[in-house]
Amino acid sequence: MILKRANAWIEKWIAFVTPTCLLLGVLFPEIAGRGVAYVPVVFAFMTFTGALKSSFKDIGAVLRKPLPLLLILAVLHVVMPCAAWSVGEMFFAGNRELITGMVLEFSVPAAVVGMMWVSIYKGDSSITLSLLVIDTVLAPLIIPLTLKILVGARVKMNPEEMMKDLVFMIALPALLAMCLNQFSCGKVKEKWPGKLAFWSKLCLIYCVICNSSKVAPYVRHMNLQRVFVAVCIMILAAAGYAIGWGISVLLKQDEKTRISMIYGSGMRNISAGAVIAAAYFPGEVMFPVMIGTLFQQVLAACYGSLIKRLRNREKGCKK
């Protein structure tokens, strides 16, 4: 009961919890940095927990009508990485690390915590679950490929090692969770997520605090360029939600699908990006990735408030 209350409290205040964790890592990098070595294992557990609500059956149902899912994936892995690269080339052409960080920020898969926001605003959970599983499993291929196409010629990286880490942290835990659901006839899906939810939130807190220790020197020595990078990341992140919303309206999707498309297109697994940045790139690459932590949950709450306001207005019009 206590763990459920603690988990509910973290979910309620997640928009402020993650920036606070980022601040702790920046203020105490010597302490937070000691835990970086264990981040991949902790992150794998977090992925496993997030995928426990998924099943092969859920994915099959969505794949029979795949348009919303395909559009979300297109926004996540085509539109936004290209937009981030374009903005980076336009304003920071002389700084390859910053451009790489911006592209990486918008190349990582959809965020597991997006499921929480979709549930709060009564979206289509099956679309979101399918997105999380498929995007997570494809991440070891998509992230290195995106980085190679957009910035690979100018940045030294080891795509083979990166892929191995992504498989360990993301793909294998997700597939394991789904297999457990399959072999237990759904019993794992019913019992385990609630029991592990609080520990998953602690893992998120741990990853953010530890990874942010590497960005501490850049945050402590902020300059106009980095402030401008933060502004660009915020605008791009807000645009992701808006593009998902706009496409759903143009295609006249129902409200549940629309909500799933908004959060699916806007929310990123920033912790995964931070782990990759810490392992394979110079410290400055991590700055655009981690700075996104400040905005993502706050933007999710703002869009949720807008969804609620429009919903109430529509109800008033019907009366």
Whichever domain contains 277, its CATH number is 1.20.1530.20
**Cα distance between residue 198 and residue 134, in whole Å:** 24
Q: Does 50 reside within a domain?
A: yes
Q: Does 4 reside within a domain?
A: no
CA distances from 96 to 89, 92, 236 (A): 9, 8, 18
**3-state secondary structure string, the chain?**
CHHHHHHHHHHHCHHHHHHHHHHHHHHCHHHHHHHHHHHHHHHHHHHHHHHCCCCHHHHHHHHCCCHHHHHHHHHHHHHHHHHHHHHHHHHCCCCHHHHHHHHHHCCCCECCCHHHHHHHCCCCHHHHHHHHHHHHHHHHHHHHHHHHHHCCCCCCCCHHHHHHHHHHHHHHHHHHHHHHHHHCCCHHHHHHHHHHHHHHHHHHHHHHHHHHHHHHHHHHCCCHHHHHHHHHHHHHHHHHHHHHHHHHHHCCCCHHHHHHHHHHHHCECHHHHHHHHHHHCCHHHHHHHHHHHHHHHHHHHHHHHHHHHHHHHHHHHHC
Asked whether 273 and 110 are in contact (CB, 8 A), the reply is no
* pLDDT attached to residue 228: 94
* pLDDT attached to residue 159: 61
pTM score over 0.85: no
Tokens of 50: 């997030």
Q: Does 1 reside within a domain?
A: no
- Supply the range of the domain harboring residue 57: 35-309
Per-residue pLDDT tens, the chain, 319 aa: give them. Answer: 788 888 888 877 877 887 888 789 888 988 988 998 888 888 888 878 877 877 777 778 788 889 999 999 999 999 999 999 999 999 998 888 899 999 999 998 888 778 778 877 878 877 887 888 788 778 888 888 898 899 875 555 566 676 677 678 777 888 898 889 888 887 888 888 888 888 988 988 888 888 778 777 777 778 888 899 999 999 999 999 999 999 999 999 999 999 999 999 998 887 778 777 877 787 788 888 878 877 887 888 889 889 988 888 877 666 5
Q: Does 316 reside within a domain?
A: no
Q: Does 233 reside within a domain?
A: yes
Q: Does 60 reside within a domain?
A: yes
**Number of domains forming the structure of the chain:** 1
Q: Does 132 reside within a domain?
A: yes
**Cα distance between residue 305 and residue 274, in whole Å:** 28
Q: Does 3 reside within a domain?
A: no
